[in-house]
A and B are shown apart, each in its own frame.
Chain A
Amino acid sequence: EVHLVESGGGLVQPGRSLRLSCTASGFNFGDASMNWFRQAPGKGLEWVGFIRSKAYGGTTEYAASLKGRITISRDDSKSIAYLQMDSLKTEDTAVYYCARGARLPDPWGQGTLVTVSS
């Protein structure tokens, strides 16, 4: 069974950094592209960014509003995708989800809550 588990969320002060992890199981992680999404409290879904598999260069795409503050990477040996977030702002408070796949993201993990507050 395909399973994704996000971790690394928590309470962080504005201006600080945080790295989220997405640990995958049940499929060949190295062959998969991985997406990150987020959902602010009571709001809709927002795409954060995406990393292609190594077969497609392992390149990344980022939401314009976040570009420069986030970095998505992957460790295929550990089946983990990472979302590094820097210079966090209060408006980055959200549940962050990872999902397998580029244009057909499925499944999604259960999410990890990031709260940016002083």
Chain B
Amino acid sequence: DVVMTQSPLSLPVTPGQPASISCRSSQSLVYSDGNTYLNWFQQRPGQSPRRLIYKVSNRDSGVPDRFSGSGSGTDFTLTISRVEAEDVGVYYCMQATHWPITFGPGTKVDI
């Protein structure tokens, strides 16, 4: 199975300041169709996961443009350009290039 690691696991943030989360996979996430199925999810307290970014860098509809994704191969980053109070929650990277789908352990973002 592909092992996903995230760092840091806990991220205290200050509103208005940038924040970034790193995600690494144990093998390349480039699929045979040329796509890289690395997605980012946000889970606010008491809510179900919400997809923020798909295929590394594509922001989902309704996601504020302060969220961005980057990376390639085995190294990926989620960046929040200016953190807001509503960004508190746990962020997960997920790979769906290889079966089984696997997730990172999550990064808890709090103010």
Which chain A residues have a beta carbon within 8 Å of chain B's beta carbons? 35, 37, 44-47, 50, 61, 63-64, 97, 102-111
Contact = CB atoms under 8 A, between A and B. Distances in A.
User: In the complex, which range does the number of interface residues on chain B fall in?
Assistant: 20 to 34
B92 A106 contact: no
A45 B54 CA distance: 17
A14 to B, nearest CB: 25
Interface stretch (B11-19, B45-53, B64-72, B73-81): B45-53
Contact of B100 (A63, A102, A104, A107): A63
Contacts of A46: 103
A47 B100 contact: yes
B39 A104 contact: yes
Nearest to A61: B99
B101 A35 contact: yes
B25 interface: no
B94 interface: yes
Contacts of A47: 100-103
